[in-house]
Each structure stands twice: as C-alpha cells, then as structure tokens.
Amino acid sequence: MITKYFKIEKAHLTIVALDAVYEVEFAYETQCGYTWEFDRMSDAVNQKTSKRTGNIQVLFIPSENTMSFPEDAKRPRTYVMPVEKARMLYQTLTRFPNYWFALDMANLAAK
C-alpha cells in the first residue's frame, strides 16, 4: 500500500512574515493499493483501488530567499492532521495570517 497526497486547489494560502513569504498548501491523504490489501476476502487479483484516510497534509513552502532565521530551517514544514483540525487551521490562517502563529497552530493540530 502506498500513501499519496492530492493537492486541494482551492485551499492555497500565502502568509507574509516581516521578511519572508510562505505558501501554505493543503492536500488530502489517500491509501492506494490492490483491492486485496484493503479487503482480505476480495476475489480481485490485480484490481487497484484507493481510499481516503481522513487526514490532511499541510505543507509550508518558503518562497525564494526567505530563510532568514536559523531556527526556521530546523522546524518541520509538513504536518498531517485530521480534516476537522485542518479546517480550523485554514479558517484561523485566513483571519490571522502570521507565519510563526501558523506553525505553532499546525504543530498543535498534528499531535
């Protein structure tokens, strides 16, 4: 089984920090594989299928030449969280587009 992420086109945000610009992408997670991997009682031998897992991947992408703080390079940029928490994060980021606040919110939502 393989985990794939498909980008949600309408959920793209741009967050502007004091000296940096970051793109925030949301993608839904799916498990892809053969039918017998999902259902052991399946008679299909070579049929492939995919199912959504109910998780969303949030990816913070810096624009060119925006790495200004050394501690910023050490923080993770990919967070996987449930759909409900991703919706709350998206709504919060549209109201308060602060990069450091966004990273802290994503870190808390992913736990």
Domain spans, the chain: 2-110
pTM (2 d.p.): 0.75
Give yes or no for residue 70 having a pLDDT over 80: no
pLDDT score recorded for residue 71: 66
Residue with tokens 């996987």: 80
Q: What value does the CA radius of gyration of the chain take, rounded to a whole number of Å?
A: 17
Q: In what order do the strands lie in the sheet with 21-34?
A: 2-16, 21-34, 48-62, 78-82
pLDDT in tens, 32-46: 888 878 877 877 778
| H or E element that contains 8 | strand 2-16
String of DSSP letters for 44-62: -SS-EEEEEEEEEEEEEEE
pLDDT score recorded for residue 27: 92
| Helix and strand counts by DSSP (H, E) for the chain | 4, 4
